[in-house]
Copies of this chain bind each other. A is one copy, B any other.
Amino acid sequence: MNYVLKNIPVRTEKPRTTGFTMAMDKGLSLRETEDFVDSCSDYVDIVKLGWATSFVTKHLTEKIAVYKSAGIPVYFGGTLFEAFIVRGQFEDYRRVLDKYELEFAEVSDGSISLNHDKKCEFISTLSQQVTVLSEVGSKDAAKIIPPYKWIEQMQTELSAGAWKVIGEAREGGNVGLFRDSGEVRQGLVEEILTQVPEERIIWEAPQKSQQVWFIKLLGANVNLGNISPSEVIPLETIRLGLRGDTFDHFLGEIKL
């Protein structure tokens, strides 16, 4: 840090399993990627190339190399997995992961209907090749999954071999864990936390108010995802109680 402030929450250090920040890159150029890792590599634990943007991204091999050399693994968004599955191209998908020497992959069913046993089979198979992140929740705002099902799916996906499970929110933060308005489905989150270990969950939380809510509930070292590259530094300050939103939370109010 650039100077000393007393009583700052202690942050975990890389390689992190808690206090984890997953950033979403939806098409940065090669030089923008260099800029991003230059300023943020200490604060980013993994980068998702959002949904299937990797299909049309230029210099893909070089981009992945830039991230890797900064100690940041990369994975393809779950929608890409689904695009291969829906076309019956699972084996092709596995070859693509190898071609780009990826060490992580996401298994999701946000846009397709996938029998849950089949989903767990994909998790199990892929976990022999890479570290698997599995995602629970639909991208369709109309499909409300009740809390007991979120829990059941998270538990069985972890048992099937997922390293961590991700709570869906999309880039916008307006589905899955959140209402249309972006408001957190608090009851859902709290119920999940009674049954699934916190450190095994990454909460997608692209909006500032959502990040603040999770940090107030679970502390500086909650795992958060779908963070825009330009919001990584701001998020770090929120985790540390150094932005208005969590300033009081970590200190209590102090009268001078």
A→B interface (CB under 8 Å)? 1-7, 26-32, 34-36, 38-40, 42-43, 50-60, 79-80, 82-87, 89, 92, 96, 99, 110-115, 118, 139-140, 170, 230, 232-234, 236-237, 240, 242-244, 247-248, 251, 253-256
> Does B52 lie within 8 Å of A242, measured CB to CB?
yes
> Does A1 lie within 8 Å of B39, measured CB to CB?
no
Please name the residue on chain B nearest to A31 by beta carbon.
Answer: B35
> Does B244 lie within 8 Å of A89, measured CB to CB?
no
> Does B35 lie within 8 Å of A242, measured CB to CB?
no
Give Cα A49–Cα B252 distance, bound, in whole angstroms. 25
Can you give 24 A-B contacts (C-beta < 8 A)? A3-B92, A5-B84, A5-B87, A7-B87, A26-B233, A26-B234, A27-B232, A29-B36, A29-B38, A30-B35, A31-B38, A32-B39, A39-B57, A51-B243, A52-B240, A55-B237, A55-B242, A86-B254, A86-B256, A111-B244, A112-B247, A112-B253, A113-B253, A115-B256
Give Cα A6–Cα B87 distance, bound, in whole angstroms. 7
> Does A237 lie within 8 Å of B53, measured CB to CB?
yes
Chain B positions within 8 Å of A34 at CB level:
31
Chain B positions within 8 Å of A80 at CB level:
242
Q: Given A244-B79, A244-B139, A56–B43 Cβ distance below 8 Å? A: yes
Q: Given A27-B230, A244-B79, A86–B39 Cβ distance below 8 Å? A: no
Of the candidates A2, A30, A42, the one having the most CB atoms from chain B within 10 angstroms of its own CB is: A2
Of the candidates A118, A140, A237, A251, the one having the most CB atoms from chain B within 10 angstroms of its own CB is: A237
Give Cα A247–Cα B89 distance, bound, in whole angstroms. 16
Q: Given A83-B247, A87-B5, A247-B82, A56–B237 Cβ distance below 8 Å? A: yes
New A-B pairs, 14, CB < 8 Å, besides A57-B233, A80-B242: A5-B89, A27-B232, A27-B234, A40-B58, A43-B56, A51-B237, A51-B244, A52-B242, A52-B243, A55-B237, A79-B243, A86-B254, A111-B247, A113-B254
Give Cα A35–Cα B84 distance, bound, in whole angstroms. 30
Chain B positions within 8 Å of A56 at CB level:
1-2, 43, 233, 236-237, 240
Q: Given A57-B39, A255-B113, A256-B118, A51–B242 Cβ distance below 8 Å? A: yes
Q: Given A233-B53, A243-B79, A254-B86, A27–B3 Cβ distance below 8 Å? A: no
> Does B31 lie within 8 Å of A86, measured CB to CB?
no
